[in-house]
Structure formats: structure tokens, C-alpha cells
Chain A
Amino acid sequence: MLNVGKIEEGFVLDHIEAGKSLSIYHHLQLDKLDCTVAIIKNARSNKMGKKDILKVECDIDTLDLDVLAFIDHNITVNVIKDGEIVDKKELTLPKEIKNIIKCRNPRCITSIEQELPHIFVLADEEKEIYRCKYCEEKAGESTYSW
């Protein structure tokens, strides 16, 4: 088994569905941060069979992790300080998500005006339903951009 060393301060995102770690890397814009990131794909998991893990060494206030709740709320977020887990972060669904998913409604204004941000608003927290801010199309499988 491949071993990746401990981090001093940052996050360990565990229980990521196998194969999704790279898209999460992009959604969290980790490519824009000057920090150490370990992407572990297809790690063995008792719970999931196989899973992905992301280890991010950074200041713990740097990242907005709420978007993870939208992507997959089964992800476990371990907050690391001085090499130890100090917190397991509760993920809450963001009220609004911007440029994470695309509206695929061919009648939506975003289909012809390319510069508009794709914004989805949390319409029903209980049922976890997001709707396009412009045309109110429900976010579904067909709207995911990853």
C-alpha cells in the first residue's frame, strides 16, 4: 500500500467517491494555491470498497468547503493542526453555488450568453434541490459538469 506522510496543518478529505478527487481538486481551486496537495486515488476502504482521499496542507481558514456538501455530503472533512485531527467539519449545503454545475436547459439565457455565471440557488433544503437562478430548472444528473 502506498503511504503518504502526515500533514502539519490543513485538511484531509476522506471518503471521496472513487474517481471524484480530481474534480474536487478543481472545484476547490487547489490548483491556484501554493500548497502541498496529495491526491490518493482508489485507496482501499472497508466502507466503500475503494475511495479517493485528498490531503491539503494549508491554513485552515483558506478554503471554503461548503461546496463539498453539494458535491457529495458523505465526504469526511478532518481538520488537522499540529499533525493531529482537531475537528471533523460539519458540511452545510451552500445557499448558492456558482460555476460548479452548468444549466443544461436549452431555453435558459445561459445557453446563449457565455459570459454569464452559472448560478444555482438552494430551493429546498430538506430535499436538497437546487434550481438555476435564471430559468429555475432543477439541478439534476444532466446539469453536472463533471
Chain B
Amino acid sequence: MRHLMNPLDFSVEELDRLFDLADDIAANPAKYAHACAGKKLATCFYEPSTRTRLSFEAAMLNLGGSVLGFSDAASSSASKGESVSDTIRIISCYADICAMRHPKEGAPMVAASRSGIPVINAGDGGHQHPTQTLTDLLTIRALKGRLSDFTIGLCGDLKFGRTVHSLIAALLRYSGIRFIFISPPELRVPDYITDRLREQGIEYEEVIRLEDCMADLDLLYMTRVQRERFFNEEDYVRLKDFYILNNEKMSLAKDDMLVLHPLPRVNEISVEVDDDPRAVYFKQAQYGVYVRMALILTLLEITV
């Protein structure tokens, strides 16, 4: 039995197979409409995350399965002091697969070690959010046709942004990727990442102004500056509006450059950019459902 805790749990070949399956699901949804008939997905969300939970639930419903679960710790037995290990043993009696979101880092791993069913880490604190990374990779592969040989700009909060760290780690396994990190000095990408890039001889650049690199980019990954990562409100207010992507900046970019964002956005992408065909962040949410469908089928070892 397999679980998904970290985007690197799957080899590049396994990811290729997963993305091939997601492509097939996108092209032939009817073929998979009853693939999980009689199967149940438990969504155990110890902290609210409506988008991720609904994406998992939509994925299971699209496969003809059913869903059950809770959407915050207060409505679960955790509020009575039950451990994650005990909860997952009970959930294993009720469902066939579990997606778990928890504010504490490593909680899904503890669950997986005691579980009788596959567990998917649906986000654990600031640690990992592997299905977001799988979504990002599938979106790039589907819309660019490849996962190698491009220049990607990562913009915004590169210090605390776990989606950014996971995406970089996942892209390091492909060839010909050049990174441009766009952030204010206070939110620079951590040294352990740049050290690793240097060790592996991977080309990267750090810039402060988005305008200075727009023309070079094949992909732009925007992120939100998250209030909850700051201990000091003053720093948050000062940095939150550092980057705002608008049509003027988009005019500097290549015609086939794509803009991605894990969402939700606050104001870092101006609404006027939404109509630009290069803005693919809403499509990305759709790919998120396809990749979760492919993941559920893979972990349940169901072939169609």
C-alpha cells in the first residue's frame, strides 16, 4: 500500500504515468465516471481549506465514488483529545482512502504509519502540500508540452512559500530548467535551496524587479504574501503589495509565456490580467482535479 506524503515520493517515471493518466481522464471523463463506484474517500481536514477539500471531493465524485469527512478540528474527535493515530485507525474502517490536512507538520505521516488505507497529505502546516506540486507540474506539462528546457520565474514570498519550495525540488529532477527568483530581499529563497542549485550546477538568478526579467520567462509562478507567516503586522503590510502583476508588465512578456498561481490570490495579480490568454491559474485549478483523480486511482490500484 502506498501513501503520498511528499511530491518526491514518486519517481519521474511514476509521475509520467500519473500525468498520462490525468491527460486521459481530461480527454475521456466518461470513461472514468464509475471507476470508483462503491469506494469512499475520507477528507480529514483539521484546519479549513475549502479549495483543496472541494478539489479532492470533486475528484472522487467524478470517479463515481462517495465522500465523507470533517472540515475543521472542532467538528472531529481531535477536539476531545483523540490522537491522529487513533483517528486514522477508525477512519480506515469507514473509508477506502483518506486525504488529510493538518496544521501540524508530519501529522499525515504519523497517520500513514498506522493506517489501513492509503493516506494523501493534503497539506501539513508549512511543510508539504504535494498535490499542489503535482497540479503545478501537470499544468506545465499539459500547456507547455514538456517539463524540461524552460526558464521559470518564481515571484513573491519565496522565503515562507512552501508551494515554491516543493515546486523547485520537483523541477530539479528535470533537465534544462533555469530559475529566476523574484522577491524583495526580506523574502528571498532560503540559502539551503540556492546552495543545492549551485551544488547541482543549475542556473539561477535573483532579481528584485519583475520588469527586469519578464522578457526572459517561459513561465511565471506568482505567489501570495501570506499574513499568517509573519509575526509582525508591520512587515506584512510593507511587503504585501511589493508585486502586482498587471497588463503593463504582461506586455513585456513573451507571447507564449504562462502565468501560474496556486491561488487564492489577494491583489498580486490584477483582475485585468485574468482575460489574458497567458493567465492559466484558473485552468490550473481544473488540472488539480484531474491530477487528484489520477492519484486516487493510482493509490487504490484501480485500472480502467
Summed over the interface, the residue pairs from A and B with CB atoms below 8 Å come to a total of 44
Interface size on A, residues (CB 8 A): 16
B75 contacts the other chain (CB 8 A):
no
A13 and B274 CA atoms in complex are apart in Å by: 68
Smallest beta-carbon distance B131→chain A, Å? 18
Smallest beta-carbon distance B89→chain A, Å? 14
Q: Which residues in chain A, 97-146, are within 8 Å of chain B measured between CB atoms? A: 105, 107-113, 115-116, 132-137
- Which residues of A sit under 8 angstroms from B107, Cβ to Cβ? 109, 134
- Which residues of A sit under 8 angstroms from B85, Cβ to Cβ? 113
A136 and B83 CA atoms in complex are apart in Å by: 21
Binding site for A on B (CB under 8 A): 83-85, 102-107, 109-110, 124-127
A interface, over-half SS: loop
A110 and B106 CA atoms in complex are apart in Å by: 8
For A129, give the chain B residue with the smallest CB separation.
Answer: B192
Interface hub of B102, B103, B105, B107 (most chain A Cβ within 10 A): B105
Option from A107, A115, A132, A134 in Cβ contact (under 8 Å) with B83: A115
Smallest beta-carbon distance B291→chain A, Å? 24
A111 and B102 CA atoms in complex are apart in Å by: 13
Smallest beta-carbon distance B149→chain A, Å? 30
Interface hub of A113, A115, A135 (most chain B Cβ within 10 A): A135
B84–A107 touching, CB < 8 Å: no
Smallest beta-carbon distance B161→chain A, Å? 15
B106–A112 touching, CB < 8 Å: no
B106–A132 touching, CB < 8 Å: yes
Smallest beta-carbon distance B231→chain A, Å? 12
Smallest beta-carbon distance B129→chain A, Å? 14
Known: A107-B125, A134-B106. 4 other contacts (CB 8 A): A113-B84, A113-B85, A133-B109, A135-B127
B126–A107 touching, CB < 8 Å: yes
A110 and B105 CA atoms in complex are apart in Å by: 9
A109–B102 touching, CB < 8 Å: yes
B110–A134 touching, CB < 8 Å: yes
- Can you identify 12 A-B contacts, CB atoms within 8 angstroms? A107-B104, A108-B104, A108-B105, A109-B106, A113-B83, A113-B84, A113-B85, A134-B106, A134-B109, A134-B110, A135-B105, A135-B127
- Which residues of B sit under 8 angstroms from A105, Cβ to Cβ? 105
A142 and B124 CA atoms in complex are apart in Å by: 22
Smallest beta-carbon distance B282→chain A, Å? 31
A135 and B124 CA atoms in complex are apart in Å by: 9
- Which residues of A sit under 8 angstroms from B127, Cβ to Cβ? 107, 135-136
For A107, give the chain B residue with the smallest CB separation.
Answer: B125
B110–A113 touching, CB < 8 Å: yes
A133–B104 touching, CB < 8 Å: no
Closest CB pairs A-B (n = 3): A134-B106, A135-B105, A109-B104
B110–A112 touching, CB < 8 Å: no
Knowing A105-B105, A107-B105, A134-B105, say if A116 contacts B110 (CB, 8 Å).
yes
- Which residues of A sit under 8 angstroms from B124, Cβ to Cβ? 109, 135
- Which residues of A sit under 8 angstroms from B83, Cβ to Cβ? 113, 115
For A111, give the chain B residue with the smallest CB separation.
Answer: B104
